[in-house]
Amino acid sequence: MTTPAGLAPDAQFRPRRGRFVPLGVALVFLVICAVVAVAMGVAGVWGVGDQLALVAFGVLVAAFLSRYATIRATPGPDGLTVRNLMTTRTVGWDEIVDVRFPDGDPWVSLELSDTDVLAVMAVQRVDGEEGRVEARRLARLVMARRGVSG
């Protein structure tokens, strides 16, 4: 297997399970918060402020989980833009020294020329063989682009 079915070598990298599980959990969490808030209000235990606070908390958690669903790595002519959970960073192809995916690591990491290491959460071990195929595709893409970007 060289690339996942139908993907160009420079296609965007996205986790498979990492897109759907967080959205499902976000929806369930939001529904549970809303149901508990309404039930506690009907029971007379909580006031409107308490109910709104719980729903607001549910919205915040759902927003955080939906951010997880947008994790990706996008190849471009000048480098790789990596959108992880909290940060988005673009690194030039010539800045990437090595692509690593050692056994036990949850996702791919890039060794950079400034000795920094950048996690690429878009390629995850939980995706099994597909994750390993994507890691190899990323490594080949970096090798191909490294000499071209300068």
DSSP 85: S
pLDDT digits (tens, 9 = 90+) for 67-90: 988 999 999 999 999 999 999 999
Q: CA–CA separation, 123 vs 100, rounded Å?
A: 11
Last residue of a domain, one of 36, 68, 100: 68
Flag whether 89 is in a domain: yes
Say what the pLDDT of residue 1 is.
39
Question: What's the total number of domains in the chain?
Answer: 2
Pairing of strands 72-75, 96-100: unpaired
Going by their DSSP bridges, the two strands 88-92 and 96-100 should be labelled as: unpaired
27 & 55 share domain? yes
Q: Which stretches of the chain drop beneath a pLDDT of 70? A: 1-6, 148-150
Q: How far apart are CA 92 and CA 41, in angstroms?
A: 54
Structural domain including 128 reads 72-146
Tell me if 10 is assigned to some domain: no
Residue 134 lies in a domain: yes
What sign does the CA torsion over 134, 139, 142, 145 have? negative
| Longest CA span, the chain | 68
60 and 80 belong to one structural domain: no
Choose one of 52, 68, 84: the last residue of a domain. 68
Place of tokens 């690593």: 100
pLDDT at 148: 61
**Residue at 25 is within a domain:** yes
